[in-house]
Amino acid sequence: MKVIVIYGSPNDKPFMEPAREYFAQEGVPYEETVLSAHRDLPELIKFLGDLEASGEKAVILAVAGLSAALPGVVVMSCSLPVIGVPVPGGPLNGIDALLAIAQCPGGVPCTTVGLHKKTPVNAAMAAHRILKLAGL
């Protein structure tokens, strides 16, 4: 049972440092990987298929900026709960990513958090609560 953080780019990692600190403080197991839906789609689908086949209970944080397809694609490629985390930056400063995640179409149940500097910890806390429901 753990949190899996999937980043659209290695450049998104610094924004999530407070989430990593939260996981360390609270003893929440987590792993991280970089797999973009736009750039690494076959590898992302395989990663999620293998995860699903393993039967691991996990909450996924899908972290992406700009045109954030990643969270919705992750939702539709596995049956685990997904929290999309928009990353500030670019000419629209993350509004594009926030709207892309929050406005997933019907049947794509991606949850999300806001854009300010505390939102990585909010995402981490939400994931932790879900894992607690499953007995962590």
Annotated binding site for substrate: 9, 12, 39
**From the centroid of its chain, how far is CA 121?**
12
Please state, in angstroms and rounded to a whole number, the distance separating the CA atoms of residues 71 and 123: 13
Q: Which position among 48, 87, 127, 131 is part of the footprint of ligand C2R (CB under 6 A)?
A: 87
* Interface with ligand C2R (CB under 6 A), residue from 4, 19, 36, 123: 36
Q: How far is CA 66 from CA 44, 59, 88, in A?
A: 18, 23, 8
Should residue 112 be labelled a site residue for ligand C2R when binding is judged by CB under 6 A? no
- Contact between 13 and ligand C2R per CB under 6 A: no
Q: Is 33 in the site for ligand C2R (CB under 6 A)?
A: no
Nearer of residues 36 and 131 to ligand C2R, judged by Cβ: 36
Q: Which has the closest alpha carbon to 40: 7, 87, 79, 75?
A: 7
Q: Among all chains, which residue has been given the structure tokens 């990663």? A: 47
Task: Note whether 123 binds ligand C2R by CB under 6 A.
Answer: no
User: Which of 19, 69, 113, 131 lies at the binding interface for ligand C2R (CB under 6 A)?
Assistant: 69
Q: Give the span between the Cα atoms of 65 and 88, in whole angstroms.
A: 6
